[in-house]
Structure 1
Amino acid sequence: MSLTEHINWNSDGLVAAIAQDWQSGEVLMMAWMNAEALQLTLIEQRAIYYSRSREKLWRKGEQSGNVQQLKELRLDCDGDTVLLKVEQLGGIACHTGRRNCFYRLASASGELSITDEVLREPDDMYGDNKQ
């Protein structure tokens, strides 16, 4: 049975994809993949996602240069999440210009604080074409 047959696709034909730094284990981001994105990720050995807002494939780093080189792909026990262990080329995974997308820390009272600084201004990476 192929990988795609083991995936529990959601009603939109998508599966959640977590990108994790292959060396440090740091969780970098979460995005969505359709079957084509998943297959191309394996073929090209780089993270390719499906953009729900643009309704098309999105090769991570195609505009910013912050490519995610695939090192390993795993499927969780329920088949509803894939884990991409990647080498984050360019050092920035988040479209906000931060290392990862999880830069907001919630306190016990529910207040949010920013934990990570912007490493590169989004306008410098994307102009008006934010990913």
Structure 2
Amino acid sequence: MPSNDIPDSSLDPAVAARLKRDANGLFPAVAQQYDTGEVLMLGWMDDEALSRTLSSGRATYWSRSRQEYWVKGDTSGHVQRVKSVALDCDADTVLVKVDQTGPACHTGARTCFDADPLPLG
């Protein structure tokens, strides 16, 4: 469960020491289709979710609404198989490159970012 302190998890301590988390112990995780670069969704992780993602090869997130871990695709079948994970330059966001099966968005859309473009200018 997320907390303000560095959580007790199986995440490599060197990685855990670098991560910057919000007040709830979370950091954003951007999921991107590995071969096309398409941005699929934004989820939230804590150290344990990142550890599970790295060890299982399946994207695992922390659900802020349900207050539990969820593995993308376990209920929907829309699996994210992890190809790589990288920290950004500030170590406060991770980029999870995945091979997405089916839609990434809970609405059934391919991505969470194609339904409501905002006007520029």
Structure-1-length-normalised TM-score = 0.79
Residue type of the partner of 2:66?
A: R
2:108 matches 1:97: yes
* 1:42 aligns with one of 42, 54, 65: 54
Matches within 5 A, 1:1-131: 2-89=14-101, 91-103=102-114, 104-108=116-120
Identity among equivalent pairs (%):
48
**How many angstroms apart in 1 are the aligned matches of 2:98 and 2:14?**
22
**How many angstroms apart in 2 are the aligned matches of 1:5 and 1:48?**
20
Alignment gaps of 5+ in structure 1: 110-131
Residue type of the partner of 1:94?
A: C
Q: Which has the higher contact order (CA 8 A, sep 6+)?
A: 2
Q: What's the C-alpha RMSD, in Å, of the aligned pairs?
A: 1.1
**How many angstroms apart in 2 are the aligned matches of 1:80 and 1:25?**
21
Residue type of the partner of 1:12?
A: N
**How many angstroms apart in 2 are the aligned matches of 1:18 and 1:69?**
14
Structure-2-length-normalised TM-score = 0.86
Alignment gaps of 5+ in structure 2: 1-12
